[in-house]
Structure 1
Amino acid sequence: MAPNYQGNVSEFIIRGLSDTPELQIPLFVLFLIIYLFIITGNLTIFSVILLSSDLHTPMYKFLQNLSIIDISSTSNVLPALLHRLITQQKKMSLFGCLTQLYFYISLAGSEFFILTAMSYDRYVAICDPLHYINRMSEKHCAWLISASYCAGFVNSVGHVVLLHKLTYCASHLIDHFFCDVIPLLKLSCSDTFNVEILTYVSGTLLTFNSFLLTLSSYIFIISTILKIQSTHGRQKAFSTCASHLTCVIIFYMTLLCLYMKPTTSYSLDRDKFFSLLYIVLVPLLNPLIYTLKNKEFLIAFNKLKQTVKNFIF
């Protein structure tokens, strides 16, 4: 039976990934390298798209904002993790914990909607190319991006407000490497029913609907591609959405494994693993997936690199 402390806790202790002292420095070096790769890769995408007029199209504007979200979501968690690994200072205030959680949920929600908007962009480009300019105008593109951020940041308010109202008197130790919903629910000695209901409702209304819209887009896209007679035409059409489809699968699988389950089935090791996949693997792979076989981006990148060389030398 967990001890029942008097009053509510004002700060938590984040246990982290490991309590083994010998692993702290190797983990610090590993995650520092990963973090630098994530920042470098996503900043490169953002800069190349910003500075190359040939890439000022809806698809690349969505990709640019996806890079912003990846940088922000990683920076919300990894610097604090690195600080704890090197200093062993594991305390975090309740306000700091809920702030980190707010941005974590907000950015994850925004990424859902950006990926959905990208799937719609690919649907219009492949299934209705004659009306692409009108349906994906600069105004419509800006509206989709703004709506994605607004929906993500508004959705997280309810979670944070309800979590703030809970009483955390069972313990002050968060057995995770950052503040997340389920570990906080495990520490509460008050009724968590409302938070759990909100998690499932928002997951159903927002996450599932985003997934359904993305799935519907790809059903029409694949159906249209299969109707193309030439093999080269089918390959060219599919190559324009293959990168996005790969990122969507990785993103949805990690978050669905994390949150679309009852809290009674919570597994510490499994949830830490899937959290790492989302926070580290997804932002690390996105730049590689979207750029390695993207001829337009590589041409723009080489032009920009040559311009920089000419300017320096």
Structure 2
Amino acid sequence: MIIDLPSSNTSAVNRKLVELRESGGVFALGRVLTLVVVTEDGPDLERSIDAANAASREHPCRVIVLARGQRKASPRLDAQIRVGGDAGAAEVIVLRGYGALTADEAGAGMVMPLLLPDTPVVAWWPGEAPSTPSQDAVGKLAQRRITDALASRNPGKALDARRRDYAPGDTDLTWTRLTHWRAQLAAALDVPPHEAVTAAQVAGETVSPSTELIAGWLAAALGVKVKRSPTDKEAGLSLVRLTRASGTVELSRPDGKTARLTQPGQPERLIALARREVSDCLAEELRRLDPDEVYAEALAGVSQVSRGRTPVRVQA
């Protein structure tokens, strides 16, 4: 069910929520958090709502979407409430602000009266994010702040901002996309022979925040020299190669779907390692509300990575 409230205010939205609760049952019970989605009112809006709805099936929540409209229009708030089948396991409140209501402070002011009491707040910017999320007006309301450097107009610049202005509680979906890569590499090193890694190489397309982060993670976790190289294909992160005394452990993914793991004394293995959906990454990040210290170490480790110019060819 979708209820439109044009030219409205947060008081009217709250009254409508109470009315729906009394007439249709207490749909707010069992909500474990409030997810605030900050985006633009445009073609990507529904994709962001769909991703939040999918994540809500694992984490029932109230989703508040700040959809910024035209900044030069007269101040106006058009609200919309979605419940039932149109909201997954959540209740979705879409706030379309125009004019002065597109400002960060105004957005935070509209969100505050609608936050669920006594539950954590998570802020998510599915597109362009502020350079310092922890200092943003909405970011200050949240225990966790989720960005996505890959969705920015300039992913490299966005990752530099994440590194420069990191604060506990920050995370980025480019890091979350690496979870399965990190698990496969850790498992490969956890079998005999238990030898130290002496060098590492990471290869990916020229602009790939995930490639930068996995290189930083390896530099911080292993304390070895890590070389970051471009590849001959535009397929994101494509190759991780770890050198040990007995030989090389290599995890390569030339097509963005299936990876090949090779290591001394073991048969070659094919692993399903497709690029993860945004909803899957978002659901993973909502499982934890404490600071991600490993992510912070990976960000710091990027500065220790050396750069190669010669493209690496990843065999299909």
* TM-score for the superposition, normalised by structure 1: 0.25
Higher relative contact order (CA 8 A, sep 6+): 1
Which structure is higher in helix share? 1
Which structure is higher in strand share? 2
* TM-score for the superposition, normalised by structure 2: 0.25
